[in-house]
Amino acid sequence: MKHLRNFFFTGLLVLLPIIISIKLFVWGFEKADQILGNLLHQIILRYFNFSKPIPGLGLAVLVILITLTGIFAKHYIGKKLLSIGEMILVKIPILNGIYNTTKQIMESFSNKEKSAFRKVVLIEYPRPGIFSPGFLTGDTPAEANDKTDKRLVNVFVPTSPNPTTGFLVFVPFEDVIMLDMSIDDGFKLFISAGVIKLKENNGGYSFNGPSFDRGDVKG
């Protein structure tokens, strides 16, 4: 009976990630198809008098539009037009902040060498003796350092299992414990809520950031 139970939970651990991935894909497919598909269906109905819905049309058109935008953005004329559009956006209050922030986040995720998440760290939070993992994102603005008379660094502490949300804390650099864990493994840790076992890295760490070296590292 004990062996059967172990086999059951092993099977569950194997199947759950597959099922969840398929569910999320289907959900995204249906949402994209529903939003864009309904609009396209109205256009087709009006101009071509074709009333039968076409499954997957919305998603197919969305993929084509995104791909064409990427191709357009790579060419000289596209770059110029996008640059003009960007200049207009950054002059609009509120929208400029949203646009710049979103652009920086997307660039961080798309380019690992310039990633905003520079190191996986531990900070003593929410109370002494309890440690929370997070991502080192850079140096704190100079004003905060001057006001506190300390060298502070920015640490983003994601929520689990959704690491796209979280909170920012300013932490004295000497209180930050650097980990050898890669950024990818850090995301796996948060997404799995600590369930998955990460491979140990005994080859030291690499830090792609400003002025932190091995002599600075605590831990």
Which of helix, strand or coil describes residue 157?
A: strand
Q: 100 vs 212, which has greater pLDDT?
A: 100
- Integer Cα distance of 120 and 136 in angstroms: 6
pLDDT tens per residue across span 85-138? 888 877 888 777 777 767 766 666 555 555 567 899 999 988 889 999 999 988
pTM greater than 0.75 (yes/no): no
| Strands across the sheet containing 131-139 | 166-172, 152-158, 131-139, 119-124, 177-178
For the chain, domains (ranges, CATH) are 19-112 (no CATH), 113-209 (2.30.30)
pLDDT tens per residue across span 30-65? 777 777 777 777 777 777 776 676 777 777 787 888
Q: What is the distance, to the nearest Å, from the Cα of residue 216 to the centroid of all Cα atoms in its chain?
A: 27
